[in-house]
Structure 1
Amino acid sequence: MSLDGSYDAGNIFAKILRGEMPAVKVYEDEHVLAFMDVFPQAKGHTLVIPKQSSARNFLEEAPDVIGPLMLGVQRVARAVRAALNPDGLVITQFNGAPAGQTVFHLHFHIIPRWEGVPLGRHAQGMADMDELKVLAAEISAKVG
Structure 2
Amino acid sequence: MDCLFCKIVNRGIPADIVHEDEHVLAFSDINPQAPTHILIIPRQHIATLNDIEMADLALMGRLQYTAARLARERGFAEDGYRVVMNCNDHGGQTVYHIHMHLMGGRRFTWPAG
Place the TM-score, normalised by the shorter chain, in its bin. 0.7 to 0.9
Match in the other structure for 1:56 = 47
Name the structure, 1 or 2, with higher relative contact order (CA <8 Å, separation 6+).
1
Q: Percent identity?
A: 34
The secondary structure found in structure 2 opposite 1:76 is helix
* Cα distance in structure 1, aligned partners of 2:7 and 2:49: 19
Could you tell me the TM-score, scaled by structure 1's length? Answer: 0.65
The normalised TM-score by structure 2 is 0.81
What is the alpha-carbon distance in structure 2 between the residues aligned to residue 98 and residue 31 of structure 1?
28
Give the whole-Å Cα distance in 2 for the aligned partners of 1:100 and 1:79: 28
Write the mapping of 1:70-81 to structure 2, written as runs, cut at 5 A. 70-80=64-74
How many aligned positions are there? 106
CA contact (8 A) 2:37 2:102 kept: yes
* Greater strand fraction, Structure 1 or Structure 2: 2
1:94: which partner in 2?
A: 86
* CA–CA distance in structure 2, aligned partners of residues 74 and 57 of structure 1: 22
C-alpha change, 1:58 and 1:79, in structure 2 (3 Å) is farther
Shift of 1:55: 0.9
CA RMSD, 1 decimal:
2.2
